[in-house]
């Protein structure tokens, strides 16, 4: 069966790990569509994490998830930027995506800096 599928152009992978690895490599190369990366990665997943942070109690929990969200957004910014570079549609969407990336990076850096300052000022003496 595998030989038949290979003859018509299908490739069989050995493991689920290889499939996932290929997905993330393609993601960081910008091979996924800009619309999916931007709306799915930033608005859906980013929005869900922001909503989750809003329902947490305790400084440590909020700070930890907020810092993880900021790191996620920084990684996502690389993915969006590379997808925008590969985008073949209207130049306007490419430019707007890159402007959004700059704002996402600023938001993440301000958040991380804010928590760093908070920790510095509230360390036990």
Q: What is the pLDDT of residue 5?
A: 42
SS3 124: coil
95-110 confidence digits (pLDDT tens): 999 999 999 999 899 9
What is the pTM for the complete model shown?
A: 0.72
Residue 65, phi-psi category: left (phi > 0), alpha (psi -120 to 50), beta (remainder):
alpha
Q: What is the pLDDT of residue 40?
A: 87
Please check the confidence at residue 13 and state whether its pLDDT lies above 80: no
Please check the confidence at residue 1 and state whether its pLDDT lies above 60: no
Q: What is the average per-residue pLDDT within 4-25?
A: 60
Lowest-confidence segment of 18-22, 32-36, 59-63, 106-110 by average pLDDT: 18-22
DSSP-derived letter for residue 79 is H
């Amino acid at each position: 069966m595998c030989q038949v599928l290979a003859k018509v152009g299908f490739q069989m992978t050995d493991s689920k790990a290889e499939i996932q690895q290929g997905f993330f490599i393609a993601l960081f190369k910008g091979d996924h569509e800009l619309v999916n990366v931007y709306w799915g990665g930033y608005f859906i997943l980013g929005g869900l994490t922001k909503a989750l942070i809003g329902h947490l109690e305790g400084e440590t929990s909020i700070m930890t998830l907020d810092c993880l969200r900021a790191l996620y957004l920084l990684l996502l910014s690389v993915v969006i930027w590379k997808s925008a570079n590969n985008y073949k549609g209207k130049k306007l969407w490419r430019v707007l995506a890159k402007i959004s990336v700059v704002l996402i990076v600023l938001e993440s850096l301000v958040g991380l800096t804010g928590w760093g300052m908070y920790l510095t000022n509230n360390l036990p003496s």
